[in-house]
Amino acid sequence: MKTSNTFSIKRVGLLTYRHVFSNLRPYLMYFAAAGSILIIISLLNTLGTNYFSEDVFISLGEVILFIGGVMFTSSIFKEISSKHRGWLYMMLPANPSEKIISYWLLSSAGYVVMASLTLVVSSIVLSALSTLIFKTAFYVFNPFSMVHLNILLHYCIAQSLFFFGAIFFQRNNFIKTILSVFVFAMIMGVLGVIITYLLFGKTGIDSNNIQLTDDHLFTVTIPYIAKVSYYGLMVPFFIIVSYFKFKEREV
């Protein structure tokens, strides 16, 4: 079926609606399971210390949902890897950009909203049980705290990498993405050591022995470029390469 190349927000919404309601039960079960695990572990911690720790709840909850988020993102394109359902998805009346944007919004903004809601509901249920059993103070998780928002920002950045891995690999996307990042980091580390050795010789391995007349490049310029690349370029870069990889797989 031929589709207009003009980007349509309506088609993006319909694609998102289709994916959510065709996978609604497993998604609800995941968030319910994540909330239940968080509540049980927090109750056990309160039982052991006789004190409800908000820090333990927040840290544990965000770790569970962060890992669950990148795993969810890694499986977002599993439909097109299926021999039986892949061709049906490719024939949907939507262009590649609409399909990419719909899945990216679902696994980034959509997941962030559901993860935050899970933490809020879990904190209310946990506080109600802790108050009744241990007489602790009632606590409701604040999804708009700067700490939580900062973690969500890092999630969306990391999610873009796993989003590309989801479309690049056809099987075991989560594991293969992690292994690829590890191999890339190792290669960059080796190259860094080689470059340092070429520039500074044997003393370059020990940073305390390096004497630079002007270290502005290493203390200001390079960290600034790294920060801009991480916060400003990483997400659009992986969305763009995901788009071209998706078009390649469509062919």
pLDDT, tens only, 2-58 = 556 788 899 999 999 998 998 999 999 999 999 999 999 999 988 888 788 889 999
CA 92 to chain centre: 27
| Mean pLDDT, residues 96-109 taken together | 94
Do 33 and 125 lie in one domain? The reply is: yes
Do 103 and 187 lie in one domain? The reply is: no
Do 75 and 190 lie in one domain? The reply is: no
How many other C-beta atoms can be found within 10 angstroms of the C-beta atom of residue 106?
A: 21
**Is residue 77 domain-resident?**
yes
Give the CA radius of gyration of the chain. Answer: 23
| Mean pLDDT, residues 106-120 taken together | 96
Percent of the chain with pLDDT strictly greater than 90: 59
pLDDT at residue 100 is higher than 60: yes
Q: Are 46 and 136 in contact (CB under 8 A)?
A: yes
Look-up: residue for tokens 């506080």? 127
Structural domains counted in the chain:
2
**Is residue 3 domain-resident?**
no
pTM value is: 0.88
Do 152 and 203 lie in one domain? The reply is: no
User: Residue 251's pLDDT is what?
Assistant: 65
Do 116 and 163 lie in one domain? The reply is: yes
SS3 53: coil
Q: Are 160 and 234 in contact (CB under 8 A)?
A: yes
Q: Which residues contact 171 (CB under 8 A, 6 or more apart)?
A: 81
Q: Which residues contact 170 (CB under 8 A, 6 or more apart)?
A: 81
What is the C-alpha to C-alpha distance for residues 213 and 35, in angstroms, rounded to an integer?
55
**Is residue 222 domain-resident?**
yes
Do 153 and 83 lie in one domain? The reply is: yes
Task: Provide the domain limits for residue 185.
Answer: 177-208
Do 64 and 118 lie in one domain? The reply is: yes
User: Residue 2's pLDDT is what?
Assistant: 54
User: Residue 153's pLDDT is what?
Assistant: 95
User: Residue 32's pLDDT is what?
Assistant: 95
Do 18 and 130 lie in one domain? The reply is: yes
Do 78 and 164 lie in one domain? The reply is: yes
**29 burial level (CB within 10 Å; 0-12, 13-18, 19+):** exposed
Q: Which is nearest to 107 in space by CA: 168, 166, 182, 151?
A: 166
Q: What does the DSSP 8-state code read for residue 93?
A: S
| Mean pLDDT, residues 147-164 taken together | 95
Q: What is the pLDDT of residues 195-226, one digit of tens each?
A: 777 776 665 555 555 555 556 666 788 889 98
Do 142 and 91 lie in one domain? The reply is: yes
SS3 84: coil
| Mean pLDDT, residues 144-160 taken together | 94
